[in-house]
Structure 1
Amino acid sequence: MGHRDGHGFVVRDDGQPDIYLPPNEMRAVLHRDRVRVRVVRHDRRGRPEGRVTEILQRSDAPIIGRLLFEHGVWLVAPEDKRYGQDVLIPKGATGAAQSGQVVVVELTEPPALYGQPVGRVKEVLGDIDDPGMEIEIAVRKYGVPHQFSEAAMAEARALPDKVRAVDRRGRIDLTDVPLVTIDGEDARDFDDAVYCEPARVGRGKGWRLLVAIADVSHYVRNGSPLDVDAYDRATSVYFPRRVIPMLPEKLSNGLCSLNPGVDRLCMVCDMLIDAKGQVQAYQFYPAVMHSHQRFTYTEVAAILQNTRGPLAQRHAALVPHLLHLHDVYRALLAAREARGAVDLETVETQIVCDEAGRIERIEPRTRTEAHRLIEEAMLAANVCAAEFIAAHHHPALYRVHERPAPDKLEVLREYLKAVGVTATLPDMPSPRDFQAIAKATAERPDAPQIHQMLLRSMQQAMYSPHNVGHFGLAFDAYTHFTSPIRRYPDLLVHRVIKALLKDERYHLPMLPTPGEAQAKLTKRLQERGASDAMQRTRGRPTNEVLGWEAAGLHCSANERRADEASRDVEAWLKCKYMRERLGEEFTGTVTAVTSFGLFVTLDALYVEGLVHITELGGEYFRYDERRQELRGERTGARFTLGSKVTVQVSRVDLDGRRIDFRLVRDAQMAVSEGRAVVAGEPAEFDEGDDGRGPVRRARRTERSTRAAGDGASDSGKRGGKKARAAAPGRAAVPATARSGAKPRAASPTGAQSASVLGPSARGRRGGRPRR
């Protein structure tokens, strides 16, 4: 894995710590090459440094970059800075490309110790400022399949445009049931529809809740060209103003989408839920439905707030059903709280672009009762699907979320102790323990930072045939059933349920051979942090189980790939957005603290950038991992999570997706005078404190703060690291370089986690540079 600063890391097959490669060892290799290395030394912290002894396999991934003509030589500067060398293009190998255009390069000669790599232009993407260029780059940079095979398109074209009489056979007719879809304003594919009515459950009151999901499996047959392409993609990829769908548009936006006013095939989870929010009975069956209305979240929220308003009057026939949905939602929410599920609200943002693809504004997404209503209904259906499959002992893909790892728990304990949270976490914590801390600290002014650390301690959710439960949601069994248009695991779950309804067994199209596949899967489970519990559940896997493991790892990896590509595009757009604001000053909040500086998110723009440690003033700063703070040794000035600062946009690196801030003069003077800001309030220092004595706790005002989580990243690996900040006017030498640390450019909070809430879970970043 190359690094933009010229060095690299070897990611070991055995899952052991990465091996550092100095720049001279990276001359003959490129990012993504497979190599054999020999460890030649260890640094002061015991981290290995290696020497490449053999290049086992060259990466065949294309390189994307800008074609340049310099000093009579054509070359391509890679857009991904992890490729540390420019690619030489021989005369005549540039094709129709012109200087300055973005191109895709295929290597014809690999790099050598004293020679640059050589390649030819394979594809011309266009000019760097063309609308949508950032997406064209991302899909190729991350290897996202963006063109369907001709066989798949031919199969899609042969499908009917509407539901036929033959398709209705063996299905329950629900066309007279007023099912409705509730989605965002910009949604184009509708996976799910809902309906609720009061019902008697046992001797008490309850509800009958129907969750109807598009029956994609009826049209995408096992092992067909459409199925092969869908498996290769594994998920739809969402960018601002564009979607790379898992299925061709004829299916995703047409035949499979539960559009209003037309009949559609669906799979139904029909549930009876009691007054306590417990599912007392459920059944699955194929059906034909007719969506009676396409609602948006905004519309449903408005109707629930004012059932006599103009919008409610316009949909008077459907308002009672929406009220029933709201009633069952409140019961399900009570059940969620009773089982102790972790509920940490994250601040999510959306980018609003103009017609040319430029950012107009970045705004937070507002979660309404309508969002939560649909979320709880989908969770209930997903749990029923998992229980149904588990009861029949049929292999399938579960959505598993394991307990926090011991090392992350220890970091969390130290942090909670440092900030004065008295609650303790046992060695085997339950979701209820995390939720108790979240509730106990909800009124503290530093609640967002505490909840952020709670979320960072969580593991990533993934797909696996081994059901070890979902920690964050506090479910013994959980899977994904509700989005087969955009997630391949959901399509597999549908196929398994259909097979079980027919007393049959579903078989994956292709199964690996046990030998080599077993070794690779074991290695990848270790790399992805699979716990001992998951390893024990594997036992002696059969060929069938190996196939499901391979499918789970493939879907999990492609989910991460989609997240990374989406974040890359958002980072590109934000950099272009901030390039027009160079020199402007903004207030912001410290959202991550590392040994090499502070990551600050601007309050008004929701854009994150780095204040390097060399910008903090002329003294040494010590990084305290326990407190998540940088503290000046001379003045005792402290910067911690939640600190309020005023920064100036000093540099924007579009290619590196990097925004640099500097503290404005007033803030620098405050630091030099021994004043800093902690969790939004000015800190108070002992007179004559030289940074080594005790520092009195900052004064805080009592105020209610909405809990916000911000990522599943490590926020640093070292504690007590000393770093010197350059005085104004002096050369800014990264202090961490003097102590053997290697500052990374990417933000630790750039990888946010949604693993607690189900669909996605993002990667770990921060601390020692790894990628």
Structure 2
Amino acid sequence: MSKHENNNPGHIDAEAPDRQAILDCLEREGRPLKRGDIVHALGVESADSREILRRRLKAMVRDGQLIKNRRGAYGVAAKMDLVSGRVTAHPDGYGFLVPEDGGEDLYLSSRQMRSVLHGDRVLASVIGVDHRGRREGKVKEVLERANQTVVGRFVEESGVALVVPDETRISQDVLIPLKDTGGAKPGQIVVAAIINQPTEKQPPVGKIVQVLGEMGAPGMATDIAIHNFGIPYQWPDGVEAEAKAFGDVVPEAMKEGRKDLRDLPLVTIDGADARDFDDAVYAQRQRKGWRLVVTIADVASYVKPGGLLDVEAVNRGTSVYFPNRVVPMLPEALSNGLCSLKPREDRLCLACDMTVDERGQVTRSRFVAAVMHSHARLTYGQVWRYLDEGDIKLDRDADAIRANLDDLHALYKVLKKARRQRGAIDFESQEVKFAFDENGEVADLLPTTRNDAHKLIEECMIMANVEAARFLQQTGLPAPYRVHAPPPMLKLESLTQFLQAQGLKPTWRDQPEPRDFDRIAQQAKGRPDEKLIMAVLLRSQSLAVYLPENNGHFGLALDAYSHFTSPIRRYPDLLAHRAIHHAIARQAKAEFPYGKNDMQKLCEGCSHRERRAEEAERDVDDRLKCAYMEQHIGMEFNGIVSGVTSFGLFVELDHGNVNGLVHVTNLPNDYYHFDPVSHSLTGERRGRVFQLADPVRVSVEGVNVEERKIDFELAES
């Protein structure tokens, strides 16, 4: 039942038909029925039941299951040849409806797009096939509006005010009545609330609710992304108070009955600027292997299902990490305070205690609710210097911590070997860190590389995640698993063509194994086009998602995987913790607060919010790179051809992983012919060939920060 169908959840009327009964009734009748006819056909008698039926019919129309026609009769949408799905708009004005059932997309002409915006959920009918052979649709009804606000540039001229959306896929400007401009000045970036959604005859109408400031101001890129992608960034009433009510220290009563790990020299190892410490680790060499203890912040003991903190954590799904700002999943009182595994402070944790043999295989593991006391807050840089040079400065417990790091590193070497043997894909990618000056502007793009300290922690977390997945399977409780499917066939075909063009021979025939990709990754190491090959390999992979069924993780070559190690910043990890707590406390399965359908919906929501966060983070990165390159117009850089089209070359610079376009008109003067098979452009007169992975030198010709576009010019003769 939808939460909108009954305002009295404590009252259950057995006579009120559920959705399936309504659908079955309409199926039997074979025609649309008015509400009175449905009442009669299902024998609904009481006033309460009739009211519930009325709300349920309304909810089924809203969800796209039913259609209410002009006669006021309800019909099954699927029977009326209507397709429900989300609108994906193109900057040029047309769009597509992506069906919810996974069928073929419907093309929506620019005329059909007048009444909808990017992301809207609609019902459409198939009206034919366009000149390119695509199924063409007509929007019949808007089920859900995706955009309640729009962020963009304010324009006022000739007595007309409007907002030009920053999101290029929203091609309609928002009209602003002059009385609703909110004091905005032309050129400023504003947030407009949409008062009237677009119709076929009228564009959207809105009012200015917030003036963000001038384009290019420090932090503006992040502000725009937060509003464009709908990232929740303000705490609803009561949420922060609920977090602060737990205080600053763990009360003794909460420590009772827990395993005491405070004497174990556990340490956290994170980035230098990290403030929320999810995990701590400890390893000890034993006669036939190692003991490895991974302790994770016990968020579940504070954030309970249904509370204000939990509702908002579901809404956010994940913390969002921008270069100059973090939008956390939980308030700071918990994320950086009581849940964070700070050094020399007692903290509640959920511990995975493992025994690992000489081959890197876990022979025994158990989960315990514990209390711990981090003995040091270490950074990746500190640990790497110690592993490389043997030097680390510690205030206390120096001998125990050094022994822990030595044993962790020895264990890592074994785990690394085991990873290679099972064929996990070793994707080495170079991240970029933004350096800001005192004015908050981008001063430089700095490459960051992962060392053994990063990889050591990664392997420990993977092991804990695997054991959590296996334990969750044994419990039989509904829980989220991290699932990574093999690459889809369509992507494999284009990947094979690309690899062959680079002189690399794929080893698979039909369905590849992870080790096939790892072989390619190893062959690429040290090549001039290594970054390009790794990027293409990554793009060929399926997206990892959260599912209530364990279907394994292709990239890691694992048959069971979950997310368990970051409950401060990821909601699926918190769900996994709740299931583990429930099982180790030996509570009845019937008392677990989630059913399979609940978990299915939560997994879908978590996957969606993860994608939203990734897109927002990528958007800010692209804007900041454009802002940086805007300072370097006319300067020359080395790069590599990362894409070839009929209209030019896409080039990725060696500096900062910056991408831009060399338009065909900026190539040496000639007529160029595009070959999609060899990914090349060939000059007709001079015979000059440009193809994928060619090293080039370019100069920065122009930058459009708003559109996130950089134009290069070939600098060589």
TM-score (norm 2): 0.83
C-alpha distance 483-138 of structure 1, shift in aligned 2 (>3 A):
same
- Kindly indicate whether the alpha-carbon contact (under 8 Å) linking 1:191 and 1:214 is maintained by their aligned counterparts in 2: yes
- Kindly indicate whether the alpha-carbon contact (under 8 Å) linking 2:148 and 2:194 is maintained by their aligned counterparts in 1: no
C-alpha distance 301-172 of structure 1, shift in aligned 2 (>3 A):
same
Name the residue aligned to 2:450. 367
Name the residue aligned to 2:564. 481
- Kindly indicate whether the alpha-carbon contact (under 8 Å) linking 1:575 and 1:658 is maintained by their aligned counterparts in 2: yes
SS at match of 1:11: strand
- Kindly indicate whether the alpha-carbon contact (under 8 Å) linking 1:208 and 1:272 is maintained by their aligned counterparts in 2: yes
- Kindly indicate whether the alpha-carbon contact (under 8 Å) linking 1:88 and 1:119 is maintained by their aligned counterparts in 2: yes
- Kindly indicate whether the alpha-carbon contact (under 8 Å) linking 2:488 and 2:542 is maintained by their aligned counterparts in 1: yes
- Kindly indicate whether the alpha-carbon contact (under 8 Å) linking 2:432 and 2:656 is maintained by their aligned counterparts in 1: no
How do residues 412-451 of structure 1 correspond to structure 2 at under 5 angstroms?
A: 412-442=495-525, 444-451=527-534
SS at match of 2:352: strand
Measure how far apart 1:653 and its partner are.
Answer: 1.6
Give the Cα–Cα distance (whole angstroms) in 2 for the partners of residues 635 and 187 of structure 1: 55
Measure how far apart 1:597 and its partner are.
Answer: 3.1
- Kindly indicate whether the alpha-carbon contact (under 8 Å) linking 2:548 and 2:603 is maintained by their aligned counterparts in 1: yes
Measure how far apart 1:462 and its partner are.
Answer: 0.8
Name the residue aligned to 1:291. 374
1:42 is the counterpart of 2:94: no
Structure 1 residue corresponding to 2:236, chosen from 135, 145, 149: 149
Give the Cα–Cα distance (whole angstroms) in 2 for the partners of residues 337 and 449 of structure 1: 22
Name the residue aligned to 2:413. 330
Name the residue aligned to 1:235. 318
1:352 is the counterpart of 2:404: no
Identify the range of structure 1 (313-322 vs 180-189) with the bigger mean alpha-carbon deviation: 313-322
SS at match of 1:150: coil
Name the residue aligned to 2:674. 622
SS at match of 2:428: coil
Give the Cα–Cα distance (whole angstroms) in 1 for the partners of residues 475 and 139 of structure 2: 51
Measure how far apart 1:645 and its partner are.
Answer: 1.4
1:460 is the counterpart of 2:460: no
Name the residue aligned to 1:600. 651
1:644 is the counterpart of 2:695: yes
Give the Cα–Cα distance (whole angstroms) in 2 for the partners of residues 510 and 263 of structure 1: 29
Amino acid at match of 1:246: M
Measure how far apart 1:412 and its partner are.
Answer: 2.2
Measure how far apart 1:230 and its partner are.
Answer: 0.5
How do residues 659-674 of structure 1 correspond to structure 2 at under 5 angstroms?
A: 659-664=710-715, 666-667=716-717
Name the residue aligned to 1:80. 167
Identify the range of structure 1 (82-91 vs 548-557) with the bigger mean alpha-carbon deviation: 82-91
Structure 2 residue corresponding to 1:71, chosen from 129, 137, 158: 158
Name the residue aligned to 2:488. 405
Structure 2 residue corresponding to 1:391, chosen from 474, 477, 480: 474
- Kindly indicate whether the alpha-carbon contact (under 8 Å) linking 1:413 and 1:424 is maintained by their aligned counterparts in 2: no
Structure 1 residue corresponding to 2:213, chosen from 122, 126, 133: 126
Name the residue aligned to 1:105. 192
Name the residue aligned to 1:697. none
SS at match of 1:582: coil
Measure how far apart 1:571 and its partner are.
Answer: 1.5
Name the residue aligned to 1:764. none
RMSD: 2.4
C-alpha distance 397-260 of structure 1, shift in aligned 2 (>3 A):
same
Measure how far apart 1:67 and its partner are.
Answer: 2.0
Q: Deviations over 1:559-585 (max 9, x none)?
A: 000011111111121222222222322
Identify the range of structure 1 (180-189 vs 627-636) with the bigger mean alpha-carbon deviation: 627-636
1:199 is the counterpart of 2:307: no
Q: Deviations over 1:619-640 (max 9, x none)?
A: 1322324x44344455553333
Measure how far apart 1:143 and its partner are.
Answer: 0.8
Give the Cα–Cα distance (whole angstroms) in 2 for the partners of residues 443 and 605 of structure 1: 19
Identify the range of structure 1 (100-109 vs 239-248) with the bigger mean alpha-carbon deviation: 100-109
Q: Which runs of 4+ in 1 moved over 6 A?
A: 309-314, 506-511
Give the Cα–Cα distance (whole angstroms) in 2 for the partners of residues 449 and 575 of structure 1: 21
Measure how far apart 1:161 and its partner are.
Answer: 1.2
C-alpha distance 157-447 of structure 1, shift in aligned 2 (>3 A):
closer
C-alpha distance 630-12 of structure 1, shift in aligned 2 (>3 A):
farther
SS at match of 1:424: coil
Measure how far apart 1:94 and its partner are.
Answer: 1.6
Amino acid at match of 2:654: D
Measure how far apart 1:15 and its partner are.
Answer: 2.4
Q: Percentage identity across aligned positions? A: 49
Identify the range of structure 1 (389-398 vs 439-448) with the bigger mean alpha-carbon deviation: 439-448
Measure how far apart 1:208 and its partner are.
Answer: 0.6
Aligned pair count reads 628
Measure how far apart 1:137 and its partner are.
Answer: 1.6
In structure 2, stretches of 5+ residues that fail to align are 1-87
- Kindly indicate whether the alpha-carbon contact (under 8 Å) linking 1:40 and 1:51 is maintained by their aligned counterparts in 2: no
Give the Cα–Cα distance (whole angstroms) in 2 for the partners of residues 547 and 11 of structure 1: 24
- Kindly indicate whether the alpha-carbon contact (under 8 Å) linking 1:589 and 1:644 is maintained by their aligned counterparts in 2: yes
1:656 is the counterpart of 2:702: no
SS at match of 1:27: helix
Amino acid at match of 1:169: E
SS at match of 1:660: strand
Give the Cα–Cα distance (whole angstroms) in 2 for the partners of residues 309 and 109 of structure 1: 62
- Kindly indicate whether the alpha-carbon contact (under 8 Å) linking 1:210 and 1:269 is maintained by their aligned counterparts in 2: yes
Amino acid at match of 1:459: S
Q: Deviations over 1:262-288 (max 9, x none)?
A: 111111111111111111111110111
C-alpha distance 452-31 of structure 1, shift in aligned 2 (>3 A):
closer
- Kindly indicate whether the alpha-carbon contact (under 8 Å) linking 2:270 and 2:277 is maintained by their aligned counterparts in 1: yes
Give the Cα–Cα distance (whole angstroms) in 1 for the partners of residues 536 and 628 of structure 2: 29
- Kindly indicate whether the alpha-carbon contact (under 8 Å) linking 1:649 and 1:662 is maintained by their aligned counterparts in 2: yes
Structure 2 residue corresponding to 1:472, chosen from 519, 537, 555: 555
Identify the range of structure 1 (12-21 vs 140-149) with the bigger mean alpha-carbon deviation: 12-21
Give the Cα–Cα distance (whole angstroms) in 2 for the partners of residues 134 and 97 of structure 1: 19
Name the residue aligned to 1:611. 662
Name the residue aligned to 1:551. 602
Give the Cα–Cα distance (whole angstroms) in 2 for the partners of residues 316 and 369 of structure 1: 21
Q: Deviations over 1:316-355 (max 9, x none)?
A: 5421211011011111111111111111211211112234
- Kindly indicate whether the alpha-carbon contact (under 8 Å) linking 2:350 and 2:367 is maintained by their aligned counterparts in 1: yes
C-alpha distance 635-391 of structure 1, shift in aligned 2 (>3 A):
farther
Give the Cα–Cα distance (whole angstroms) in 2 for the partners of residues 89 and 506 of structure 1: 55
Give the Cα–Cα distance (whole angstroms) in 2 for the partners of residues 251 and 312 of structure 1: 26
Give the Cα–Cα distance (whole angstroms) in 2 for the partners of residues 56 and 318 of structure 1: 58
Q: Deviations over 1:128-170 (max 9, x none)?
A: 3432222222111101111122122221121121011101011
Amino acid at match of 1:245: P
Give the Cα–Cα distance (whole angstroms) in 2 for the partners of residues 108 and 628 of structure 1: 48
Amino acid at match of 2:292: L
- Kindly indicate whether the alpha-carbon contact (under 8 Å) linking 1:62 and 1:105 is maintained by their aligned counterparts in 2: yes
In structure 1, stretches of 5+ residues that fail to align are 512-543, 668-771
Measure how far apart 1:590 and its partner are.
Answer: 1.7
Of structures 1 and 2, the one with the larger relative CO (CA 8 A, separation 6+) is 1
TM-score (norm 1): 0.77
- Kindly indicate whether the alpha-carbon contact (under 8 Å) linking 2:582 and 2:592 is maintained by their aligned counterparts in 1: no
Name the residue aligned to 2:295. 212
